[in-house]
Amino acid sequence: MSTLLIEGGQRLSGRVHVEGNKNSALPLLAACLLTQDECVLHNVPRIGDVEVMARLLLDLGAEVDGIGTTTLRVRCPEILKDEPDPTLVGRLRGSVLLLGPLLARRGRVRLAAPGGDFPVRRTIDTHLAALKGMGARLADGPGHALDAPDGLTGVSIFLDEASVTGTETALLAAACATGRSEIRHAATEPHVAELCRFLESMGAGITGAGTSTIQVEGVARRHGTTHTLWGDYIDAGSWAVIGAITGGTVEVTGARAQDVEVCAAVLRRLGVQITFEDGLLQVEPSQLVGAGRITTGLWPSFPSDLVSLVTVLATQAQGSTLVHDWMYELRLFALDQMSGMHADLFLCDPHRIIVSGPCRLRGRSLDSRDLRSGMSLIAAALTADGESRVSPLETVERGYSRLVERLQSLGARVTKLT
């Protein structure tokens, strides 16, 4: 495991570029299994989670060229097995996206319990309900065992929650099911719409992408395609917070205006001077103020993936902010260790935290327990007095490409210790 050594108190300035959306790359890679033809993905983020998914595809018999670069070429003329490597599955929540493609190509799947952040708290009941609705049957065996020897059949389903990966599982299965499917109460996040566009380019008929009701006309044969991933708006929002919390001028390129506006709106409530023009997101030195209340929600509300970062930003704002993340129970718990940095935090319950500021933070050793809170603790360390150590760094590198390199390009005094 690696540790990031951070000397805080530096004003960061400069330009960073964001690569493709992590939450798009994983379902698009899974979709590549739906065809025997070659699929080419450009602007792929060079992150740990993408590498794990690529290696899962290799384990299943696919040919994957370009691992570790921004262009991946995937061919899968034959899937050799229906039980993905349990060790790799245990490292990646997104491995659940393999259920639909394996049922389509093999007629059965045996998937160990997916890992990732908070695996015990995040069930896949929505995914299983969608697959069972299309004709898959639960089978005996460890983990998640499903059979569909006669293939999948289109169905009209109402998802019990607007789960992003649950919607993506339903889409991947519906694209190769016989007949027409309708998915209601679907997630509307940009990465779900991007998967719809990708499946369309493979031959599936899709209407309603980006809305809560999606119709899918399955096709017997899906063909190869080429796609350039849309920029990662969570990555862009993260770097905007880095700029704001250190009092610098940071420019971010690569994201779409319609995606980052949900992040920018909340940052403006905290007093951040932020603009987006001609593809350039820019943060200027700002006088931060408490936002009163920030609540996460389903798209296009403020995304839970940024709630930890804005909580840390609120420690530097004048006044109080109540942050309410109703979606996940454990994300805010990881920030409680900032009390040892002299942050003024009151954890009301697993979903709500009150932040009062501004606080002069002090460096310390920090535990990156999950991807997003790990990046938030790095942000806290960058503005703190003295030295901090954040580990394991690999947790954060699962979702942030070239993290150390980009921090150093902005003037951060950081060193990766192995």
Q: What integer pLDDT is reported at residue 287 of this predicted model?
A: 98
Q: What integer pLDDT is reported at residue 55 of this predicted model?
A: 98
Closest to 381 (Cα-Cα) out of 362, 355, 394, 356: 362
Q: Is the pLDDT of residue 118 over 80?
A: no
| Residue 139 belongs to some domain of the structure | yes
Same domain? 224 vs 236: no
| Residue-wise pLDDT tens digits, 361-414 | 999 999 998 999 999 999 999 999 999 999 999 999 999 999 999 999 999 999
Q: Is the pLDDT of residue 119 over 50?
A: no
Q: Is the pLDDT of residue 120 over 50?
A: no
Q: Is the pLDDT of residue 164 over 80?
A: yes
Which tokens hold the place of 272? Answer: 């951040």
Q: What integer pLDDT is reported at residue 173 of this predicted model?
A: 98
- Domain final residue, candidates 197, 228, 259: 228
The arithmetic mean of pLDDT across residues 182-201, rounded, is 98
Strands 156-158 and 180-184: parallel
- Domain final residue, candidates 228, 243, 271: 228
Q: What integer pLDDT is reported at residue 122 of this predicted model?
A: 65
Same domain? 218 vs 250: no
- Partnered with residue 74 across adjacent β-strands are 39, 64
Q: 367 by DSSP, 3-state: which?
A: strand
Q: What integer pLDDT is reported at residue 116 of this predicted model?
A: 67
| Residue 386 belongs to some domain of the structure | yes
| Chain length of the chain | 418
- Domain final residue, candidates 196, 228, 260: 228
Distances in whole angstroms, Cα of residue 87 to Cα of each of 27, 90, 111, 141, 404: 19, 5, 11, 17, 27
Contacts of 363 (CB under 8 A, 6+ apart): 6, 7, 8, 341, 381, 384, 385, 386, 387, 388
Same domain? 46 vs 172: yes
Same domain? 221 vs 273: no
Which domain does 84 fall in, by range?
22-228
Q: What integer pLDDT is reported at residue 123 of this predicted model?
A: 85
Same domain? 250 vs 189: no
Whether cis (ω within 30° of 0) applies to the bond prior to 285 is no
Phi-psi region of 397 (alpha: psi -120 to 50; beta: other; left: phi over 0): alpha
* Residue 64 burial (CB count, 10 A): 19
CATH for 332:
3.65.10.10
Least confident among 142-146, 205-209, 231-235: 142-146
| Residue 118 belongs to some domain of the structure | yes
| Residue-wise pLDDT tens digits, 4-39 | 999 999 999 999 999 999 999 999 999 999 999 999
Q: What percent of the chain has pLDDT over 70?
A: 98
Q: What integer pLDDT is reported at residue 326 of this predicted model?
A: 84
Strands 39-42 and 226-228: parallel
Same domain? 219 vs 288: no
Same domain? 309 vs 400: yes
The arithmetic mean of pLDDT across residues 164-193, rounded, is 98
Same domain? 181 vs 327: no
Same domain? 274 vs 205: no
The arithmetic mean of pLDDT across residues 283-291, rounded, is 98
The arithmetic mean of pLDDT across residues 51-59, rounded, is 98
Of the pLDDT bands very low, low, confident and very high (cuts 50, 70, 90), residue 165 is very high
Same domain? 196 vs 295: no
Question: Angle 233-246/22-31 helices, nearest 10 degrees?
Answer: 160
| Residue 142 belongs to some domain of the structure | yes
State how many domains the chain has.
2
Helix (H) or strand (E) holding 151: none
Same domain? 142 vs 291: no
Of the pLDDT bands very low, low, confident and very high (cuts 50, 70, 90), residue 66 is very high
Radius of gyration of the chain (CA): 21
Same domain? 224 vs 299: no
| Residue 83 belongs to some domain of the structure | yes
User: Which sequence positions are flagged as catalytic?
Assistant: 117
Q: What percent of the chain has pLDDT over 90?
A: 94
| Residue 10 belongs to some domain of the structure | no
